[in-house]
Structure 1
């Protein structure tokens, strides 16, 4: 253990331990969503900011560089190019859909900025881990911190399933019984737990040395995590999580079998896997949860239609894409066009901000150049595998498989920053030479001299301090904003002082703006204030062009109907928008003819219609606030 806490990187290790045991498991009631709309993601990035600060001590005149690190940096730069081009060019991307005759491409591109910043921060974290120059014990210990993280989350999930009463502080729905942990989404929980199971099995056979009581304590920990995780993945009933775990076990178990020379240990390993899977299936039958598995595990459902429509968008905008941040309006415009031409009503959901496939998302928005960036990332990972021994190559693929598979069917990195950090640490571990290079696979040159190293090093340290402190400050004030806005919604939007008490006006910026303008719209409708209604439309026009959520569109239709009532008593513009929305949202009741006629009748009678305060309507088993 003494070797673990040596060297300038020990502060980074300490932060990882605190994050894995405490920080990532702090539950804060919130309003749902993705990315930084989820407070636990803000906590993750807060710790990453602290890692940036702590890693300044590890910087040296010579930095460590690897082929994978250079691929990461180049791919990140390539993914920034479409955004930078849109920022510095006044031209509008061809083929970009528009709800209104307004050029809002720049606003949509700013909407994509957090995603690019998260990508860049991850690449920077990967590079900083390389600069820490961890020894073998420290590298192994960093993987153990991930296992600590998985241990706590698996325990949290089991408590949710077996222990929590119906009326609990977490507001977990015990009738639905999908233990989503801190992630508030069972598919994300499933891929995370599956990754934890595979990591536990890998560490079980990877650790060298150790005898007696210490050896069996290690076996007990890893075995318990693997067994409990296997049970939990079965109970979660996520296709992406279960199938990827099974594939990962097929890759990893032969490696474990070959590395275990003791017959007893091999027997324990086999019994562990079989008994855990059997226990999970028995619990499914006991709680009568197997019916859903039999109903949906063999079909793709609505994802097939989403992917088909997205591929149609890509074919029409193959080279340049529809533009960063513009997937959502582009998707519904394409779906409306298909409905108008074919007459077939799609089974697509509302409020679709992602095609449930990460590669398709980037390709649809950024065109061929983003696809090339993904190919570059794949090339870097393949090169790492080529340098490893056969067993380590299979192990790396197995440990990454749940996250890679989940990327193809969902957007786990948008739901959970932990998945992004986990993936980076795993590939960093294998990239750092977990297996010694052979004569056929020589180690690449890893250290590069930096000219004017003293000045450059000082500038780099100051830059890291600024980035780290800015990240910590932004996330900390963002958590205060989360609390105020959650309390504002809990109070049925009756405490406007909450909106004035937020410390960070950019965090949840769209929510803050909607809260303020929806209150103003309700007051304007009650007072029949035409000027205030027009002011709402001026705010709403650019927002629905980049963020066509059904609640925002409903409010916009209400404001249009009210404005036209005061002006000409004709509903031409509102009816045209409603006709378009009926094509693009064929299953949404808010835009059906009876609902629109009811709105008109309410306005004619002087009754204020319903105005939404939420970006999205609450769905699913998770109660967020």
Structure 2
């Protein structure tokens, strides 16, 4: 490839991220977003890619854009509007999501500035396929080779090989996207490009086995539908180019891999999910039922950015107590497992209008293609789109967001039109091109440091708070750090009967529960009230807590023990 220095830098950065960076492992306390170290590493690479793309625009003294990128800018602007009228108490909980949206927009724009040839665009897709190959390899090692007590903390009892992602469905949608991509890439190879075809076969074979082992309903469904969307066009393309044999080899790889995965499940002493479980909708039915009711209750402006968790908990517990909703929704639900519902509940039709702009912009490109080709292009992004409607993969894994945007950019660049406009005012762009990677890297490195200290503390007996005092950057972990610090202070206050410190905990619990309610906070709040002699207030709070957390064993046991004491 004939590449400029900047383009070489972009390809090298993208390659290092896909083949090394995204697979970074560091012990952590779980969660999503920046609570997962591989996401923290991801933003370092993404910021570098954004910086390179913006600098490229200054070198060529022009901006490259398309109708889709203009709609992306418009959509992002619309989706930021609800911040202006959000409740300041909870609005901060939405900032990371909105920054991720803006970061995605900048990454998309950066990709466009490179003006890559079709061969160069395909190289990025092969790098994504390389990432899928590595994740499939890691998953196979987890399932077949890791011992019970391993240094990675992988649970051999459940034994659902999730790779780096720590969540089976997230791993499944990543693998499925890779399988669909491998099938598409077969149509882009020439007769003499045997190595590329073999790479597609091997990656498909290796990815299908852990996909079967994951027992992910989302993974199974997306594999089936994505394949059905792609196969007719792939058949036509390969037949025309005289490479139809490669399709049969791909299908054979899938069939053999499915057989191996199914046999492994059959031979296993225990499996994570029974056949009956796979057909059970589980907690999603009560979640969707109540989430839809919330959306319809405030359809125009929504409940406010950052308010979902606390509003869902309060309204669901009230409706459940009145017998108006199905039981079974998990506590501490911070996302309704459907991206459209999430934005709709918090931002109303305003946010949904922004998403609609993106959908319309993408579909305008798709509908201009012949039917089978249009369906194939939809098949490329289908696994990630489906997963976004059943969970929240773009929060669990930033690489999902990057891959999704890269695929959309590829489709828009390959099958759409781009335009350029002269842009000679380069100072701002060059400043951003330097500042974005520098600031992001400094923030993310210190976030990794915080993760290490917090994990060290939470895995100890928590008697020594020294690790928490060494935190440099608390931003990403502010809630967890507060929870741990206040719990430590409460224990000392309870022991010393420190009235001022007990009141301090009560005030803090009252404030934090307005945005991040937790069962253990309410229990400790009740304990503090009882310690201060306010037994009636403690009992009332405990009764409310039992209603909010009807399935929490700790709450119910504590409520029962207190009832025995006060009787």
TM-score by length of 2: 0.95
Partner of 1:353: 334
Q: Distance in 1 between matches of 2:197 and 2:517?
A: 52
Q: Distance in 1 between matches of 2:437 and 2:444?
A: 11
**Equivalent residue for 1:49, pick from 42, 47, 50:** 47
Partner of 1:102: none
Per-residue deviation, 1:175: 1.6
**Equivalent residue for 2:210, pick from 232, 238, 263:** 232
1:8 aligns to 2:28 (yes or no): no
Partner of 2:161: 179
Per-residue deviation, 1:347: 1.6
1:258 aligns to 2:256 (yes or no): no
Contact 1:558 1:599 in 2 (8 A): no
Q: 1:352-391 alignment to 2 at 5 Å? A: 352-391=333-372
> Unmatched 5+ residue regions in structure 2?
none
Per-residue deviation, 1:293: 4.3
Q: Distance in 1 between matches of 2:34 and 2:395?
A: 9
Q: Distance in 2 between matches of 1:370 and 1:196?
A: 30
Per-residue deviation, 1:484: 1.1
Per-residue deviation, 1:459: 1.0
Partner of 2:531: 562
Q: Distance in 2 between matches of 1:369 and 1:477?
A: 35
Partner of 1:33: 31
Instruction: Evaluate the alpha carbon distance shift between residue 291 and residue 119 of structure 1 in structure 2; reply closer, same or farther with a 3 A threshold.
Output: closer
Partner of 1:279: 260
Partner of 1:610: none
Q: 1:127-142 alignment to 2 at 5 Å? A: 127-142=109-124
Q: Distance in 2 between matches of 1:473 and 1:7?
A: 25
Per-residue deviation, 1:7: 5.4
Per-residue deviation, 1:135: 2.0
Partner of 2:483: 514
1:75 aligns to 2:75 (yes or no): yes
Contact 2:143 2:160 in 1 (8 A): yes
Per-residue deviation, 1:465: 1.8
Q: Distance in 2 between matches of 1:61 and 1:540?
A: 54
Q: Distance in 2 between matches of 1:262 and 1:342?
A: 60
Partner of 1:596: 559
1:584 aligns to 2:553 (yes or no): no
Instruction: Evaluate the alpha carbon distance shift between residue 560 and residue 392 of structure 1 in structure 2; reply closer, same or farther with a 3 A threshold.
Output: farther
Per-residue deviation, 1:599: 4.9
Q: Distance in 1 between matches of 2:438 and 2:124?
A: 23
Partner of 1:299: 280
Q: Distance in 2 between matches of 1:343 and 1:11?
A: 57
Q: Distance in 2 between matches of 1:291 and 1:588?
A: 23
Contact 2:75 2:357 in 1 (8 A): yes
Per-residue deviation, 1:127: 0.4
Q: Distance in 2 between matches of 1:160 and 1:586?
A: 36
Partner of 2:500: 531
What is the CA deviation profile of residues 404-456 of structure 1, one whole-angstrom value per residue up to 9, with x for unaligned ones?
11111111111111110110000000100x24xxxxxxx64611234xx2xx2
Instruction: Name the count of aligned residue pairs.
Output: 561
Partner of 1:170: 152
Per-residue deviation, 1:584: 2.1
What is the CA deviation profile of residues 530-572 of structure 1, one whole-angstrom value per residue up to 9, with x for unaligned ones?
1101111222211111011222222222223323x1xxxx423
Instruction: Evaluate the alpha carbon distance shift between residue 446 and residue 388 of structure 1 in structure 2; reply closer, same or farther with a 3 A threshold.
Output: farther
Q: Distance in 2 between matches of 1:112 and 1:489?
A: 26
Q: Distance in 2 between matches of 1:53 and 1:284?
A: 46
Instruction: Evaluate the alpha carbon distance shift between residue 136 and residue 291 of structure 1 in structure 2; reply closer, same or farther with a 3 A threshold.
Output: closer
Per-residue deviation, 1:190: 0.5
What is the RMSD computed on CA atoms of the aligned residues? 2.0
What is the CA deviation profile of residues 316-344 of structure 1, one whole-angstrom value per residue up to 9, with x for unaligned ones?
21212111111111112111221233277
Per-residue deviation, 1:576: 2.5
Instruction: Evaluate the alpha carbon distance shift between residue 178 and residue 526 of structure 1 in structure 2; reply closer, same or farther with a 3 A threshold.
Output: same
Instruction: Evaluate the alpha carbon distance shift between residue 243 and residue 304 of structure 1 in structure 2; reply closer, same or farther with a 3 A threshold.
Output: same
Q: Distance in 2 between matches of 1:274 and 1:283?
A: 14
Q: 1:126-525 alignment to 2 at 5 Å? A: 126-207=108-189, 209=190, 211=192, 215-260=193-238, 261-287=242-268, 292-342=273-323, 346-432=327-413, 434-435=414-415, 444=417, 446-450=419-423, 453=424, 456-525=425-494
SS at match of 2:513: helix
Contact 2:28 2:37 in 1 (8 A): yes
Q: Distance in 1 between matches of 2:244 and 2:172?
A: 31
Q: Distance in 1 between matches of 2:469 and 2:273?
A: 46
Contact 1:197 1:230 in 2 (8 A): yes
Per-residue deviation, 1:252: 1.1
Instruction: Evaluate the alpha carbon distance shift between residue 291 and residue 555 of structure 1 in structure 2; reply closer, same or farther with a 3 A threshold.
Output: closer
Q: Distance in 1 between matches of 2:325 and 2:94?
A: 32
**Equivalent residue for 1:549, pick from 503, 509, 518:** 518
Contact 1:53 1:469 in 2 (8 A): no
Q: Distance in 2 between matches of 1:511 and 1:266?
A: 50
Structure 1 stretch 52-61 or stretch 71-80: which is displaced more?
A: 52-61
Partner of 1:125: 107
> Unmatched 5+ residue regions in structure 1?
87-104, 436-442, 605-625
Q: Distance in 1 between matches of 2:152 and 2:130?
A: 22
Instruction: Evaluate the alpha carbon distance shift between residue 288 and residue 408 of structure 1 in structure 2; reply closer, same or farther with a 3 A threshold.
Output: farther
SS at match of 2:232: helix
SS at match of 2:149: coil
Contact 1:11 1:55 in 2 (8 A): no
> Which segments of structure 1 move beyond 4 Å, counting only runs of 4 or more?
288-291, 599-602
Q: Distance in 2 between matches of 1:339 and 1:600?
A: 23
Instruction: Evaluate the alpha carbon distance shift between residue 254 and residue 481 of structure 1 in structure 2; reply closer, same or farther with a 3 A threshold.
Output: same
Instruction: Evaluate the alpha carbon distance shift between residue 347 and residue 139 of structure 1 in structure 2; reply closer, same or farther with a 3 A threshold.
Output: same
